Chains A and B, each alone.
Chain A
Amino acid sequence: MERIFTYLHYPFVRYALIVGVLIALCSSLFGVTLVLKRFSFIGDGLSHVAFGAMAIAAVLKMSSQMILILPVTVICAVLLLKTSSNAVIKGDAAIAMISVTSLAAGYLIMNVFSTSANVSGDVCSTLFGSTSILTLSKTDVWLCVIMSVLVIGAFVFFYNKIFAVTFDESFSRAAGINASLYNTMIAVIIAVIIVLAMNLVGSLLISALVIFPALSAMRLYGDFRSVTICSAVLSVLCAVSGILISIGAGTPVGSTIVAADAAVFLICFMIGKMKGKA
């Protein structure tokens, strides 16, 4: 315990905690919708796209990589949602296609053009997050705070609409709700969350952050509001304990958080089973 308090004196630990909590909160809120809409894999696909974009930005030696990564990911998110409703190429196939292509392209570009001596190290840290969460600058933290406030604000403001569109798109459309607008909004926000979350857990592990809290909460509760709140609480708890454990034990941050999420899911799953039998 005391050791943890000494850590809190370091600004980089505080930054990591702030960013971790915010990202965990945002991803879990929209995770519920994503899981229920059967879009769990979109998170995974988009994170690979973000990786590809990051590779290009790195090669171009752009000072602020966000300027490239964010729009590219957002555009892909919108396109993926469009294809899954058009069904020219089925949604899951389109996602798989785009995600492996950008993953391959990203690695290729990094290998061919990179001037860095340690290419595989660079790639590994982008994919699994490694230490970037502990090297955040003040600007990164502020950017994350602003984005998170916007994301959480949008979620609260459109909560009822998001629920209606998630539960029954045809009904909402018939009632005159512009469902495709809300779908697009959800896609854009998911893209933003994923780009932010790349700092925390790296691009390969992001979907864990999005889907695990939602799935855990769904084992325990039967109504949408409780599921949303529970998923946010679980996600934040996992992020905080994951970051603290990783600093204390010297384990990689991203994988520690995801391991915590998986463990919590297992516990919730068993509690759910027991509840069901009683």
Chain B
Amino acid sequence: MALITVENLSVGYDGKPVVEGLSFTVNEGDYLCILGENGSGKSTLMKTLLGLNKPLSGKVETGNELRHTEIGYLPQQTDVQRDFPASVKEIVLSGCIARSGLHPFYSKEEKSLAEENMEKMGITHLAKRSYRDLSGGQQQRVLLARALCAARKVLLLDEPVTGLDPKVSQEMYELIASLNKEGLTIIMISHDIDAALTYASHILHIGERTFFGSIKEYRKSRYGRYYAEERKEEA
């Protein structure tokens, strides 16, 4: 059974639809890239998948008892966070917030989970540093480690490489791909078609015409061919 099934979904805000008639499925182990122009409703779609926004019509079904506590989310950075006084460890640990339930403090297991994920992201040496003093790439790693603390099955990423330089972006993509290989399902919003074609298994393109399918199908589609021609012209 599919992890997430979306049927004839319309999303938007204030009752105005941005995207209409979306249907797609995400299976365990998939790496879905959501592409589309600015303002095409990618972030709104992701928020609807997360249950933060209500769908205007249609439905989002989560199979296999996928619960909130099994989803990790990497939102776009907010202004508030840029100068927030918090240590790396505090932020990563806050990823366990859903697991801890009503307990006022984090348990030993949760603390070691946070340490494990910091190790995985290569930020253990930064544990006591303040988040606001880190570079953009380091900050994204911190937020990714936090998301991993929450993600048991699915990781949703909203433009994880915005504002990062090419080298750091590349590292970020490799990191996400390695997580996918370990069995985590990835849903990522991106502007970067190159990266999407390299790493993703499925593409959802939102725009005037919506496309959903595997990478192979995407290359053959109108969007894919248009993109390939553009590349040729550049070369």
Contacts and interface: CB of A to CB of B under 8 A. Distances in A.
B85 A175 contact: no
Contact of A160 (B71, B94, B156): B94
Interface stretch (B15-23, B76-84, B180-188): B76-84
Interface string B60-76: 00000001110101010
Number of chain A interface residues as a range: 20 to 34
Contacts of A273: none
Interface in A146-189: 156-161, 163-164, 166-168, 170-177
A38 interface: yes
Contact of A171 (B67, B75, B90, B129): B75
A176 B52 CA distance: 9
A182 B217 CA distance: 46
B104 interface: yes
Interface string A191-224: 0000000000000000000000000001001111
Given A167-B91, A224-B90, A175 B97 contact: yes
Given A170-B52, A174-B71, A224 B97 contact: no
A175 B69 CA distance: 6
B86 interface: yes
Chain B: interface size category: 35 or more
Nearest to A179: B52
Contact of A175 (B68, B86, B131, B133): B68
A168 B52 CA distance: 13
A222 B87 contact: yes
B78 A168 contact: yes
A223 B81 contact: no
B150 interface: yes
B90 A175 contact: no
A36 interface: yes
Interface of A: 36-38, 156-161, 163-164, 166-168, 170-177, 218, 221-225, 227
Given A163-B86, A218-B85, 19 more contacts: A36-B84, A156-B104, A157-B104, A158-B104, A160-B105, A164-B94, A167-B80, A167-B84, A171-B95, A171-B150, A173-B52, A174-B150, A175-B95, A176-B69, A176-B98, A177-B97, A224-B85, A224-B90, A225-B87
